[in-house]
Chains A and B, each alone.
Chain A
């Protein structure tokens, strides 16, 4: 069984000791089933003690590329695999941001350390205590909690729930791994697009979410999926 974890630097796919090919097939079926969750992301592989050739690693890379996913690091406890991965230009450690993407800026989880912000690692959730700006993407297989505003042009993609203690603009996708019970809530829920599992709803509350119109009196709201439609209700329910 492979498992997927969220990191500051993107996603980490952890393999076990079972045969490489069967695990690769498992990865492919996960990519296939949740392509919108992985699309545009970057992945590190933890291949444990598996002995892998350059061909095998490149095959994994090609597979990921087909789903618009970039492989940037390979962690291994096997010396030979390590050396091969290094020759192919993959990082062998998760420390620091993936430098080859420094100019791209598509994944900004690494910002967290720079601005004195707290980020909790692990599969349960990602806590981000800062403003998420246009062009920045937070992606996590668990829940995402943002303390701060999410600006227009930013994206949050979570396997679980999304909670924004602030104004949620931009795009939010909860339950991106298929959980239709996931929800999105925010102090001000005014995204340009929200998605829960496979359902989508645009321009929430029937207005542009550009910060152009002031909306100081708005109340906290939450969005959930009911009969395959995204419903938005006020936080204070009777």
Chain B
């Protein structure tokens, strides 16, 4: 099959880009796809931590771009899935270390080896974002169900359209169904009304995520909990399966559920 470059971005920071990248990448790998997850956040790398591969980094993408290693040497094999690799980035440099043209070239190299290349974009709409957008065949925009995150997603959707990379698709992350019912939180319908963008998945708030990111064990690898199942659904939609969109109950603590906050 022809390789697909998927860029995951959001505008606003802290909405779950890196978690989504790691888990969508893992879920695709579980579906027997050959996957490379690429950290595009030069200087503020996190994807290696969330993937639990931090202490295996020898070379990174900047080393490859600057000719200090071959691409294969920079790619870290994740043994928990059949064909899953991480391309980490440099922690000591900044966004100017890889130009847009170099990123496109890097992805063209990866296209020869992989089915899916999933890029974790930096927050913001500056050069680093444009660098990660340039090679994309598909753009996924992560938003939380709150007004400022939706506003930034709207801005980014406009930029993606103007670069003719659209139509972008939406991942609504950290939805709490109970709070939507109590009208404390924007619903999927509220968000779609503003953004008029196709939703590829709704990831419910899930307390498993915090532990899994801290431990470097993406939930999509062991497949437990509502968030894990949402990521698997997103991966199946990405490979073209027709999976009906469902909003699952969020998984929060018994305490919160007892007091009606979960």
Contacts and interface: CB of A to CB of B under 8 A. Distances in A.
A212 B190 contact: yes
Interface stretch (A12-20, A38-46, A130-138): A130-138
Given A110-B162, A114-B162, A211-B190, A133 B157 contact: yes
Interface string A210-230: 111010000000000000000
Nearest to A211: B194
Contacts of A206: none
A105 interface: yes
B158 A211 contact: no
A34 B231 CA distance: 52
Interface string A149-188: 1011100000000000000000000000000000000000
Interface stretch (B79-87, B147-155, B217-225, B247-255): B147-155
A22 to B, nearest CB: 38
A114 B150 CA distance: 23
A155 to B, nearest CB: 12
Name the residue in B151, B158, B161, B164 with the highest tally of chain A Cβ atoms < 10 Å from its Cβ: B158
Contact of B162 (A108, A131, A149, A152): A108
A134 B158 contact: yes
Contacts of A105: 125, 158-159, 162
B91 interface: no
B154 A151 contact: yes
A103 B161 contact: no
B162 A134 contact: no
Given A103-B127, A111-B161, A114-B162, A210 B155 contact: no
B179 interface: no
B161 A153 contact: no
Contacts of A153: 151, 154-155
B193 interface: yes
B186 interface: yes
A115 interface: yes
Given A135-B158, A211-B150, 18 more contacts: A97-B162, A103-B127, A103-B130, A105-B158, A111-B158, A115-B166, A133-B154, A133-B155, A133-B161, A134-B152, A134-B155, A135-B154, A135-B155, A151-B154, A152-B194, A153-B154, A153-B155, A211-B193
